[in-house]
Amino acid sequence: MSKIKNAFAGGKAFIPFITCGDPDLATTAACVREMVKNGASLIELGIPFSDPTAEGVVIQNANLRALRGGTTTDKVFELVKDLRRDVKIPLVFMTYANVVFGYGAEKFISTCAALGIDGLILPDLPFEEKGEFLPLCRKYGVDLISMIAPTSENRIAMIVREAEGFLYIVSSLGVTGTRNKIVTDLAPIIKIVRENTKIPCAIGFGISTPEQARAMANLSDGAIIGSAIIKILAEHGSNAPKFIGAYTKTIVNSLRRKYDSNV
């Protein structure tokens, strides 16, 4: 059974994202362990793909570096097997439908379950087409995590009522990437979520600073950060784990501060 709810049991959750294999899998493993040590609640592991349509240039480049370095889905599975020797917090994969189809959907999802992957995020999978994967995810106890965007509008309640694990709220239109300011009015979306489910929700896309993370977690149950972490990886390479650990600690500390409705 998925342990995703545990990520939200201790208060506001910090959910970092990392592209597996950028710059190599050993660095990915070290980064994950540093993030866990410094208080991450749940970690999104990106399986690299050649056409990551939801990603901005930062994560696109991370995918390319990982693929050029020889990262494959099987090698990512081996990474998870190693991590699960000591990493106890929930882990989810973020990747694309073609990765799952190409591997074989049942083989992919059953392997996820066997290795201790708790959820699967497929940003290019429309809600109306989730039947391609949902029965298999339920068969093997892997949550198929739904995303809600500002453009979801009248579909939000429908998506929310069938959600599993946690809801990924997309903060802004467009692709991933750090933003100076998040201007979308997310309160009405969160209101619909609260009215239709008890499943926690976290906000991602564009968050990079402790202040932004605190503001988004104040609205929801947690903050998701990806591009800011990948930028640290791009800058420091194999020396990045200690810097990512320090960044994680800064974000976690900001989320543990007393919440102010005026933030």
Per the listing, tokens 């699960």 go with 84
Count of domains for the chain: 1
By percentage, how much of the chain surpasses pLDDT 90?
75
CATH number for position 234: 3.20.20.70
Tell me whether residue 5 is in a domain: no
Tell me whether residue 4 is in a domain: no
Angstrom distance (rounded) from CA 169 to CA 9: 19
Could you list the beta-strand ranges (E) of the chain. 13-19, 43-46, 91-94, 119-121, 143-145, 147-148, 167-170, 201-204, 222-225
Could you list the beta-strand ranges (E) of 141-192. 143-145, 147-148, 167-170
Tell me whether residue 142 is in a domain: yes
Phi, psi of 169, rounded to the nearest 5 degrees: -95, 120
| pLDDT tens digit sequence for 30-49 | 999 999 999 999 999 999 98
183 has a pLDDT exceeding 60: no
Tell me whether residue 138 is in a domain: yes
Decide: helix, strand or coil at residue 223. Answer: strand
What's the burial of 14, exposed, middle or buried (CB within 10 Å: 0-12/13-18/19+)?
buried
| pLDDT tens digit sequence for 74-98 | 999 999 999 999 999 999 999 999 9
Residue 154 belongs to domain spanning: 11-256
* Secondary structure element (H or E) that encloses residue 229, with its range: helix 227-236
Nearest to 214, CA basis, from 2, 7, 14? 14
Mean pLDDT of the chain: 90
Per the listing, tokens 């500390």 go with 253
Tell me whether residue 263 is in a domain: no
Tell me whether residue 262 is in a domain: no
Tell me whether residue 236 is in a domain: yes
Tell me whether residue 153 is in a domain: yes
- Write down the pTM of the prediction: 0.91
| pLDDT tens digit sequence for 202-236 | 999 888 899 999 999 999 999 999 999 999 999 99
Q: Is the distance from CB of 29 to CB of 79 less than 8 angstroms? A: yes
